[in-house]
A = this chain, B = another copy of it.
């Protein structure tokens, strides 16, 4: 019997890493990560750990689940980085405490309703077909089909997570307090981007544009924020309806990535025309570097646009700058936003 370890011998080992299928299997099996975080959120594992670390049996009692199931799930969540483990006790990381405990005001577990909806997740089943054809393999125009119901679940589930970024965005602006400023929020969804302006500027009026059933969600959020008297809506397509005029700010949150550059310019010209002289547009987006493969979250977003839209993309700063220049805007300034993979590009009407 030869006990030489076959992976530690050989001349090549010193020069190059040993071949490994680890990344391949990790990627083929990546759907298991999705299943694990979904199960953990559904069973409220993170809330069970909100007050103190606990072992699997204690978590299982709170989650009404089995000790074996919780132990294996929590070990997997530890491997992924959602929990830490010391002895047999699991504890929340700071991010898990903030985003995954129901006791946190920033609880983001509700995002599953949209992010794992059949509309979104289902668009990846025929991904091979989408790569072949170069556009969504979903019916009609996928997520940009007029009145698509997925935007109702988007509006219902994605709002709370936007609070810190929306507040920070509003904090970048200093609207004139001597007259009632007006803000147009395009494809408003939950409405939180515009509502952050209504909260910060007590005289500001906010107009939210979206499909009619989606606006019901935004209106409910405006009532909850106590600003319903300064909140109004426009139902319909941002490419077709009358946008109004003399706005101080037009917000364009995660809207342009659904379209090709020509349509983005077509929309931005409409936004420009709706602004008062010196008014500003704020584009909130996934913006990739010129290489289109960094930063990872923004670059990876492009695949969602392939799966769900005819021609959308994650654009670069140069591409957005070019669209803005063609539409009568200054060069944009880029601002990062807290707790968000989005950045804000702010430009002034020329």
Point out residues on A near B: beta carbons under 8 Å.
Answer: 1-8, 16-39, 42-43, 63-73, 75-76, 78-82, 85, 94-95, 98-100, 106, 108, 111-112, 115-116, 121, 124-125, 127-128, 130-135, 161, 164, 168, 171-174, 280, 291-294, 296-297, 299-300, 302-307, 311, 313, 333, 335-341, 346
- Expressed in whole angstroms, the Cα–Cα distance for A291 and B337 within the complex equals 37
Residue in contact with A28 in the complex, picked from B64, B111, B338, CB distance below 8 Å: B111
A172 touching B6 by the CB < 8 A rule? yes
**What are the 4 tightest A-B residue pairs by CB atom distance, in nearest-first order?**
A66-B134, A69-B131, A30-B33, A6-B168
A127 touching B19 by the CB < 8 A rule? no
A67 touching B115 by the CB < 8 A rule? no
A30 touching B28 by the CB < 8 A rule? no
Residue in contact with A1 in the complex, picked from B42, B43, B173, B291, CB distance below 8 Å: B173
- Expressed in whole angstroms, the Cα–Cα distance for A262 and B138 within the complex equals 50
Nearest B residue (CB) for A114: B28
Residues of B within 8 A of A116 (CB): 28
Q: How far is the CB of A66 from chain B (nearest CB, A)?
A: 3
A82 touching B6 by the CB < 8 A rule? no
Nearest B residue (CB) for A346: B1
A339 touching B21 by the CB < 8 A rule? yes
Residues of B within 8 A of A115 (CB): 25, 28-29
A98 touching B28 by the CB < 8 A rule? no
Kindly list 4 other residue pairs between chains A and B, CB separation below 8 angstroms, not including A21-B341, A31-B121.
A8-B336, A24-B100, A38-B127, A79-B294
A72 touching B16 by the CB < 8 A rule? no
B34 touching A30 by the CB < 8 A rule? yes
Q: How far is the CB of A218 from chain B (nearest CB, A)?
A: 22
Residue in contact with A19 in the complex, picked from B6, B21, B34, B94, CB distance below 8 Å: B94
Residue in contact with A302 in the complex, picked from B72, B112, B172, CB distance below 8 Å: B72
Residue in contact with A69 in the complex, picked from B82, B94, B133, CB distance below 8 Å: B133
- Expressed in whole angstroms, the Cα–Cα distance for A173 and B6 within the complex equals 12
A-B contact pairs, 10 of them (CB 8 A): A3-B172, A19-B95, A19-B98, A19-B99, A19-B164, A21-B99, A24-B111, A35-B307, A39-B127, A68-B311
Residue in contact with A95 in the complex, picked from B8, B24, B37, CB distance below 8 Å: B24
With contacts A2-B174, A19-B95, A35-B125 known, is A65 near B131, CB below 8 A? yes
- Expressed in whole angstroms, the Cα–Cα distance for A135 and B37 within the complex equals 18
